Copies of this chain bind each other. A is one copy, B any other.
Amino acid sequence: MGYFKSIFMAVSKTRIEHPSPTQCKATLNAIADALYVIGGKWKLRIIVALREGNKRFNELQRVIDGISAKVLSAELKDLELNGFVSRNVFTGTPVIVEYELSAYAETLNGVLQSLSEWGTMHRENVKKSMKKNEPVEA
């Protein structure tokens, strides 16, 4: 009985936890593709900031903690090139430049949601483990 149970456990473990080398390679490639376009420290955050509504350069810089003007400018160019963001110029005095999400950026909603859920869960976990390690007051 213990023998069969251990075989069953081994098999079910293989099925659930261990994708095959081919699956693994396919997932690896797909994730590499995804990270190639939306990886890095800032791109997803810029997209999230623009989901709230179109924004000007300075507004974006204010909302996204810690990004420099140089990096924001480069990232916006990249996002424009890859079709996630469009740059709208309204001529007048003064000229207004606004950044807007494209419809294609909405295909990222699932990724953003799962990342944000995981981030929230992880933060709670870190808080809990910090509480556990706190010295107990006498």
Which of B19, B21, B23, B52 meets A20, CB within 8 Å?
B52
Is the Cβ of A115 less than 8 Å from the Cβ of B65?
A: no
Query: Known: A27-B48, A107-B121. Is A65-B32 also a contact (CB below 8 A)?
Result: yes
SS class, residues of chain A in contact with chain B: helix
By a CB distance below 8 angstroms, the chain B residues around A9 are none
- A6 CB–B CB distance under 8 Å: no
- A51 CB–B CB distance under 8 Å: yes
- A41 CB–B CB distance under 8 Å: yes
Interface residues of A in 12-61 (CB under 8 A from B): 17-21, 23-35, 37, 39-41, 44-45, 48-49, 51-53
* Chain A positions near chain B (C-beta within 8 angstroms): 17-21, 23-35, 37, 39-41, 44-45, 48-49, 51-53, 63-65, 106-108, 110-123
